[in-house]
Each structure stands twice: as structure tokens, then as C-alpha cells.
A and B are shown apart, each in its own frame.
Chain A
Amino acid sequence: MSRTLLKTSFVESSGRERAHSILDDQSYKELLGPQDNIESPHLEPQGIVPQSDDGVVVAKGTINEHPAIVISIEGNFQGGGIGEVSGAKIAGVLELALKECESGMRIIPVLVFDTGGVRLQEANYGVLSIAEIGAAIVALRRYVPVIAVIPGKIGAFGGMSITAGLCSKIIMTRGARLGLNGPEVIEQEAGIREFDSKDKQLIWGTIGGEQRTAAGFADVLIEDDADAIKEKISSFILEDTVYSPRTLQGDRYETLLSLVEPEQRLSANEVRLLWKLSENEEIKEKLPSLESDKSTGRGQTWFDLLRADFLEIGDIPSVRVADGMIGEKKVRFIAVVPDNQNRFPRARKGEVGLLEAWSIAKHVRNAIKADQNSEKRTIVAIVDVPSQAYGYHEELLGIHQACAAAVDAYASARLEGHPVISFIPGNAISGAFLSHGMQANRLIALHDEGVNVHVMSKQSAARITQRTLEELEIATKKVPAMAYDIKSFEKLGALFSLVDGVEASSPEKKDRDIIYKEIDRAIEDVRTDNSRDLSGRLSSSYAQSGGRAASILVREKLREQWK
């Protein structure tokens, strides 16, 4: 049979077949495969049949003789959702590759996405894993290009679209989709007039492979041919160039956003034109509207309290930035707050939207640059975010990429030696939390009913997992990672501290002093610990005593099999 005449469909292949087709025939070595049978421990208690590899294939080998790892998500199992085991497989193998790269090897990571994002049945485990995956990719990119392939049929959604946005190169087919919020979720959260999830043409024109490539959110539109995909990946490995990932092209994306008039519904074609224009245009200065009413939310309240009398340096009303002091330490405070005049109407209630995420990225990057040769100031993310912004324009203009830029900036600051601390006096929810807070060295939360951590509103989560709200509530009781309260989140071991006895909504000076002390303690902890990654979340006592049992086990097994 002549292979040259018969193309092998990459899209129709299983996750494992895809991994095989990318790696050289004899080199393929799968880690934690079906025989190891490490299943998700969280599915059976919810009446869901698990899979022997938890839906993720990780394999080591070579691509045209170049050392590589391939991570391939099986979209047919639970929609490719990232749970604790599947997430730890991805993060764990990236961390191993990173170690090799740090010691001089050149191992190219390739991620094949086919995922709806966080597996809602394991909720916060998914969010924690995706933060760890992102942290590893940002660290790896300092040594090697990280390649993303999005073949379809599902595409890359939710937190995993942010992950794709962190990669050096993105390859898509015409049948692939890339977006932060899936069509059903936008319809649920923002209404059918914002996005009709049954309108296929609308979906492909917004987040489909062809549109994404033409509008600056992917690099290559490729035909569905396994050999061609392998050769394309290989060409990116061999090219001896340093890629500038999209996350570092904030000026261009800001220009794009400045060209948009959000009052009118943009078409797919208009975005393509604006993207071309943005290459040469200057940013149109949009003066922040001064008449915005100042929010009375927790984010704003705490921002004002913590920055004390230091001047604000932010450039949009919804992202508050100030350089203050805690004792002798220089601290940059960043908060996302409601702005009822926001140019993008879907981001007026304190959501992390397009402008917000790019602005966060800019202000974190500025601090990194300014401190290149001096004391690395602490960066404190004040987290009170109800969600990412759900809207048509948000997807069309690449909110996943904006979020990736924020993730990248915080992670880079951490890697450069800035203590990055998240202070959570309010809600810390899904993509918004991933972008603003989750990359911190240390997380500090208030023990208060108004502090919630979760992945998706209960209404949306019920719709996507096809359960009733009542069924969802019952499942929540069995799996702490699905619960929304901060006490349950604490059990997962990611918090540095949960602070009692602080007035969360209307704090006073004494409350501020308690938080100053906590932040100071966290900074000292970062300085003595010396590690610049997120490993502290797995070595905490809660994590060790069962909170992250599967995450730890998976990493141990991966290490054994890596050699």
C-alpha cells in the first residue's frame, strides 16, 4: 500500500494514534499508559465510569530524531476534560521535560488539544492542574519552543484555551475550534442574543481554525493529514529561531482592541481586516472615562486600603494598579474591579475581559522590566473576580489569548524572582482566577462566606454535565474539589493561609495590618523557600495528607518511568 497516496486523517485518529503518528515509529514510549491503570479516583463515587489512562496519553520519543514529548488528549473520554489525574500527567511530564532542559537537553513538548477544559466533575482539581501546566509551559519556553496542535473535533476550550495561548506555535485544522467560553456557556451566561449556540456558522466564524489563523490567534491552518502535521511540527523544531509568543505581543493586540467599536457587532471578516491593520496602526488613545462610579466591591475596597496613600498608575478604570510599601518592601498591587462604563459591556461587573487581561499583563511586565537590575518588587494580585467576561466580542477578539498574556506575565514575574502573592478577599472564579491570581507563589484567602473558588456557575455546570441543580449539589458534597466555599478549597492544599477574624466587606486599619502581616510572612516564605515554581502547592500539609494524593502519585510514577 502506498502511503504517499493515502493520507491518514489526524482528526479521525484516537488520542493514542495521534501521539504515535507524531513520534518516530521505534522511539515511542508511553508513560502511565493503560496497563498502569491510574484512573481518576473522583469519577466512580459520582457514578461515572473511569478510563484506564484518564483520557490523556503522554509519550516520550523523537520527532525526526529530535527528542520530544507528546501530550495527546483523548476528546472522546469525558469531552477531554482535565481532572486531577489527567492534569497531573500533563503537568508532571512537562515538569520532567523542564528539568532536562534546565540541565542542557533540548526536549520539545508538543501538546495535542482536544478538550473542553476543566472536567467539571473534578472542578478545582482541574483549575489547579491547568495553573501548573501553564507554569511549566512558561518555564519551558525559555529553553525550547512549545508546540500546540488543535485538530478538532472538540478543539481547545476553557482553561485549556489559555494553555494553548501560552504555546510558541499553534497549528489548527479547519475543523478545530479555539475559545475560552464554549457557545453553550456564553448562551447560558449572556443570553441567546449575545450568542446563539445552535448557529454553526456563527461558531465557526468566531472560533474556527480558519478564522483564528486569519485573525492572529493561530499560526498555521493545516489540512487533516497526519504526515503533514508531523512535518509542520518538525519544521518548527528545526528552525533555529526564537519565537515571540503571542503573550508578548501585547502592543499589537492592544492596537487591535483600540480599533474596535464594541457598540456595533463586529463580523468575522472585519476582525481579519482589523488584525492586518493593527500591524501598522498606532494605538488610538481612548481616554478612560472619568465619570465611572467607583465600585464599592471588595476588590476596590481592599485595593484602596492596601495601597494606602500611594498613587495609582493604572491605565483603565477596571484595572487598579499602585506601587505601595509593606514595611520596607516595595509592592505593586493589582486589582480588577467593576467599571460600569467599560467599553466592553460584558465586562462591566468586575469580570476579567479583554482589556483587563492585557492591562494586567502590561503592568506586571512593566514591573519585571523596571526591576531588572534592582530589588524585585513583590506583586500582589487582589482577587475579587466574578468570572471572565462571557460575550461574542470577547471570543472573536481572543479573550483566551488575553488571559494567557496575564498568566504568562505573572508566571514570568515569579520565575524572575519577584514574590507574587495572591490575596483573595472575594470571589476567585475560573478563567478569571487562572489569569489573575493562580500563578502566584503563595495564595492568601479570607475565611469568609463571601469568598468562593470555583470553575463555573452552578447553572452552567449543570447544563454542561447534563445534571439537575439538585444532582449537582449532591455530587458537590462528595467531592470537595467541586464545592464552592473556601474551606473546601483549603483542603486541596494550595492556600498559604486562610485568615480568620478579618472584616472582609468593610475592613478597617486593623484588618489591613493583619493582611500586611500575612503578605509579609508570605514574602519571607517565598524568599527562604527559594523555589520559583508552584511545587509548594503539592508539598503543603493538606496536599500531602490526601488533598492532592493523585497529583502526587502520578508525578512519582512518571518520574520512575521517565528514565
Chain B
Amino acid sequence: MENFTFTFPATNKIDRFAHVGVVGSGDLEVLMEPSSDLQTEVTIRTGITGFETTWEPLIQRFFTQHDIAAKVKINDFGATPGVVKLRLEQALEVAANE
């Protein structure tokens, strides 16, 4: 198992807590919590080791495109980058809409 954290400056607060996905084969769980700090903090735990360099650009691109101030937790069980992006988008949708 590996752990890493990325932080990015941010300005827009999200409306509410969001939770999507499951820590199951090829999938992941995303938790998004509003943060009063002007930044996004993304904490990733993954069972698949050795892919930090794949995560970094993926996460960076997503949070460059979406300026949100939030605490984001990712619990990963071997999701592909496409699935990661999809789950993050879903979480964002839940966090913005009722």
C-alpha cells in the first residue's frame, strides 16, 4: 500500500460533502469535503504500488481544470486513470448539486 498527498491553491468553495465509488476491484472511493482553506488537499491511498508518477499529472490536471477548495480523500483499489477521472467528476457533481 502507498500513501501520498498533493496540494494545490484554490478559491472556490464546494457546497457540500460528496462521496462516490467503492474500494473494490478496479474501482476507488472519493470523499470530497468543503475546506475553508484556500487550497485543495488530495490524499491518496492505493493498494497498487509504484504509480505515483501516474497519479501526479492526473490529479494536477483535474484540479487545474476545476478550481475547488476541498479536502479530497481517495481510497484506491486499482482503478485505471480513466476511472479515477470519472469518479472525481462524479464527486464534483454531487458536491455542487443536491
Interface string of B2-20 (1 = CB under 8 A from A): 0000000000000001010
Does A459 sit at the interface, judged by CB under 8 A?
no
B27 partner, pick from A35, A44, A76, A78, beta carbons under 8 A: A76
- Give Cα A108 to B41, complex, Å: 42
Contacting pair B25 A76 (CB below 8 A) = yes
Q: What range describes how many residues of B lie at the interface?
A: 10 to 19
A-B CB proximity, top 4 nearest = A76-B24, A34-B19, A51-B23, A47-B1
- Give Cα A77 to B26, complex, Å: 11
Does A234 sit at the interface, judged by CB under 8 A?
no
15 contacts between A and B (CB under 8 A): A15-B22, A34-B31, A35-B17, A44-B45, A47-B1, A47-B47, A49-B23, A49-B76, A51-B22, A52-B29, A52-B73, A52-B75, A74-B24, A76-B25, A78-B23
Contacting pair B23 A77 (CB below 8 A) = yes
- Give Cα A49 to B73, complex, Å: 12
Q: How far is the CB of B80 from chain A (nearest CB, A)?
A: 16
Interface string of B70-83 (1 = CB under 8 A from A): 00010111000000
The residues of B with any CB-CB pair to A shorter than 8 Å are 1, 17, 19, 22-25, 27, 29, 31, 33, 45-47, 73, 75-77
Q: What residues of B have a CB within 8 angstroms of the CB of A78 in the complex? A: 23
- Tell me the residues in window 41-70 of chain A with beta carbons closer than 8 Å to chain B beta carbons: 44, 47-52
Q: What residues of A have a CB within 8 angstroms of the CB of B75 in the complex? A: 49-52
Most buried by A among B23, B29, B76: B23
Contacting pair A52 B19 (CB below 8 A) = yes
B19 partner, pick from A35, A44, A47, A76, beta carbons under 8 A: A35
Given contacts A14-B22, A74-B22, contact A49 B45 (CB under 8 A): yes
- Give Cα A48 to B77, complex, Å: 9
Does A468 sit at the interface, judged by CB under 8 A?
no
Q: What residues of A have a CB within 8 angstroms of the CB of B23 in the complex? A: 49-51, 76-78
Given contacts A33-B19, A35-B19, A77-B23, contact A52 B1 (CB under 8 A): no
Interface string of A208-219 (1 = CB under 8 A from B): 000000000000
Does A539 sit at the interface, judged by CB under 8 A?
no
Given contacts A44-B1, A76-B24, contact A49 B19 (CB under 8 A): no
Chain A residue nearest to B26 (CB atoms) is A76
- Give Cα A264 to B12, complex, Å: 71
- Give Cα A558 to B77, complex, Å: 28
Q: How far is the CB of B94 from chain A (nearest CB, A)?
A: 11
| Sample of 16 more A-B contacts, CB < 8 Å, known A35-B19, A74-B24, A78-B23 | A15-B22, A34-B19, A34-B31, A35-B31, A44-B1, A44-B45, A49-B45, A49-B46, A49-B76, A50-B75, A51-B22, A51-B23, A51-B75, A52-B19, A52-B29, A76-B23
Q: What residues of B have a CB within 8 angstroms of the CB of A74 in the complex? A: 22, 24
Given contacts A34-B31, A76-B27, contact A49 B22 (CB under 8 A): no
Chain B residue nearest to A15 (CB atoms) is B22
Does A37 sit at the interface, judged by CB under 8 A?
yes
Q: How far is the CB of A52 from chain B (nearest CB, A)?
A: 6
- Give Cα A76 to B26, complex, Å: 10
- Give Cα A48 to B23, complex, Å: 10
Contacting pair A77 B19 (CB below 8 A) = no
- Give Cα A77 to B28, complex, Å: 10
Q: How far is the CB of B44 from chain A (nearest CB, A)?
A: 10
Q: What residues of B have a CB within 8 angstroms of the CB of A37 in the complex? A: 31
- Give Cα A44 to B77, complex, Å: 13
- Give Cα A49 to B77, complex, Å: 7
Contacting pair B25 A48 (CB below 8 A) = no
Contacting pair A52 B77 (CB below 8 A) = no
Chain B residue nearest to A50 (CB atoms) is B75
Given contacts A14-B22, A77-B23, contact A49 B1 (CB under 8 A): yes
- Give Cα A51 to B27, complex, Å: 12
Q: How far is the CB of A200 from chain B (nearest CB, A)?
A: 20
Q: What residues of B have a CB within 8 angstroms of the CB of A33 in the complex? A: 19
Q: What residues of A have a CB within 8 angstroms of the CB of B19 in the complex? A: 33-35, 52
Q: What residues of B have a CB within 8 angstroms of the CB of A15 in the complex? A: 22
- Give Cα A504 to B1, complex, Å: 43
Q: What residues of B have a CB within 8 angstroms of the CB of A49 in the complex? A: 1, 23, 45-47, 75-77
Q: How far is the CB of B93 from chain A (nearest CB, A)?
A: 16
Q: What residues of A have a CB within 8 angstroms of the CB of B29 in the complex? A: 34, 51-52
Chain A residue nearest to B73 (CB atoms) is A52
Q: How far is the CB of A45 from chain B (nearest CB, A)?
A: 10
A77 partner, pick from B24, B33, B46, B73, beta carbons under 8 A: B24
Contacting pair A48 B22 (CB below 8 A) = no
Q: How far is the CB of B79 from chain A (nearest CB, A)?
A: 11
- Give Cα A76 to B76, complex, Å: 13
Chain B residue nearest to A34 (CB atoms) is B19
- Give Cα A14 to B76, complex, Å: 17
- Give Cα A33 to B18, complex, Å: 11
Q: What residues of B have a CB within 8 angstroms of the CB of A77 in the complex? A: 22-24
